[in-house]
């Protein structure tokens, strides 16, 4: 996610969507009642007064809508609500859904931006996915790193064996070179996942040559129609990338909750509940603070969000990290069972009962 313009005094932020993971972040940032503006398409009837003689066209427009709900879909983020713009052919107050995709730009206007929402935008812009993309054809391969703002092109590799030679020899030499290059990139860029894509069967033939079981576990296959930057761009927009980003976030959040449970199980460096997390934060002892989305919404509904905001500020002011944990997976549900608020501590402290 890229912040293009920020005017918090007016409650506005202009944001560019750069990766599939941004859809998840935005679904938790955009609230009911917010105003979202973006380019969209609206069906317009043209022709005579008789509806049967009218044609329906899709007209590109920039609309403001008052948000009623958001939904992460396969092709992006769907933001639905009532139109808040005045257009000659579009009735104000009618219902509309804006579908946001990668490279979409939107303006979000809120009565007040909350700290955890600003933190999510900051987190999404700083976080770098550790994913290597390999686009493969018969005698050419392209390598790129997935970035928050697109990708970083690393290299092109060409087969050195003539196509006139036996097909097996072409595959064996070229595939061995590709595997060697992937193995070089993995430690250099701390790669956690590899997307291997190709038209036809080239990716499957390469996997047959791969003997490294650990590397095999890191690879997810996909389909593309070519190599070079066009091939990499095509892969970035595929569902395989979206699923990997979702799995990576799930892994990180699960690990944090597991660390909390482990420390609590041995009466170690952890605590939970707003009361004890606040005492630890006042002492500057919180290393990692975990709060579930469920608790944030609960406190907002009870007009108590300022208590969470103060807690998060205390932690960040003492160089601690704040994590907003999804309640949709098992780790988040476990954390909800511990009041939805927990902290990993730097050192042991004694709490006031």
pTM above 0.75, yes or no: no
Helix (H, G, I), strand (E, B) or coil at 187: helix
Q: What is the DSSP letter of 352?
A: P
Closest Cα to residue 312, out of 111, 107, 70, 122?
A: 122
Query: What tokens were used for 166?
Result: 């036996």
- pLDDT bracket for residue 164 (50, 70, 90): very low
The predicted model gives 322-341 an average pLDDT of: 89
**22-45 pLDDT per residue, tens:** 887 898 899 999 999 999 987 776
Higher pLDDT: 237 or 232? It is: 232
CA distances from 298 to 4, 160, 291 (A): 31, 62, 12
Q: Which domains does the chain have, with CATH numbers?
A: 2-126 (2.30.30.870), 131-237 (3.30.420.60), 249-345 (3.30.1330.30)
User: Nearest-5° angle of CA 323, CA 326, CA 219?
Assistant: 95
Q: How crowded is residue 145: how many other Cβ atoms within 10 Å of its Cβ?
A: 19
* Burial (CB count within 10 angstroms: exposed 0-12, middle 13-18, buried 19+), residue 241: buried
Question: Which residues share a beta bridge with 73?
Answer: 76
Closest Cα to residue 117, out of 8, 272, 248, 16?
A: 8
Q: Which of 6-10, 218-222, 242-246, 337-341 has the lowest mean pLDDT?
A: 242-246
171, pLDDT greater than 60: no
């Amino acid at each position: 996610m890229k912040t293009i313009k920020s005017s918090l005094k007016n409650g506005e932020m202009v944001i560019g969507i750069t990766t599939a993971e941004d859809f998840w972040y935005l679904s938790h940032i955009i609230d009911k009642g917010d105003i979202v503006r973006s380019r969209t398409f609206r069906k317009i009837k043209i022709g005579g007064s008789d509806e049967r003689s009218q044609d329906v066209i899709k007209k590109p427009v920039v609309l403001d809508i008052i948000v009623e709900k958001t939904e992460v879909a396969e092709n992006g983020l769907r933001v639905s609500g009532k139109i808040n713009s005045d257009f000659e052919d579009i009735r104000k107050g009618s219902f509309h859904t804006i579908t946001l995709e990668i490279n979409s730009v939107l303006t979000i206007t809120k009565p007040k931006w909350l700290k955890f929402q600003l933190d999510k935008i900051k987190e999404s812009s700083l976080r770098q996915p550790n994913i290597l993309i390999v686009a493969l054809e018969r005698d050419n391969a392209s390598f790129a790193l997935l970035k928050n703002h697109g990708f970083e092109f690393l290299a092109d590799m060409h087969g050195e064996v003539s196509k006139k030679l036996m097909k097996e020899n072409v595959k064996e030499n070229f595939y061995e070179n590709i595997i060697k290059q992937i193995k070089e990139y993995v430690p250099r860029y701390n790669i956690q996942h590899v997307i291997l894509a190709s038209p036809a069967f080239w990716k499957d033939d390469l996997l047959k040559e791969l003997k490294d079981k650990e590397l095999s576990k890191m690879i997810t296959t996909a389909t593309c129609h070519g190599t070079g930057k066009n091939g990499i761009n095509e892969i970035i927009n595929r569902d395989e990338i979206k699923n990997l980003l979702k799995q990576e976030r799930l892994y990180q959040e699960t690990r944090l909750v597991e660390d909390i449970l482990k420390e609590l199980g041995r009466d170690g460096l952890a605590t939970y509940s707003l009361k004890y997390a606040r005492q630890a934060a006042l002492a500057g002892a919180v290393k990692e603070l975990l709060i579930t989305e469920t608790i944030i919404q609960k406190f907002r509904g009870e007009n108590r969000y300022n208590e969470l905001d103060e807690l998060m500020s205390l932690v960040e002011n003492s160089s601690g990290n704040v994590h907003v944990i999804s309640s949709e997976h098992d780790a988040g549900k476990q954390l909800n069972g511990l009041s939805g608020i927990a902290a990993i501590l730097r050192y042991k402290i004694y709490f006031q009962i």
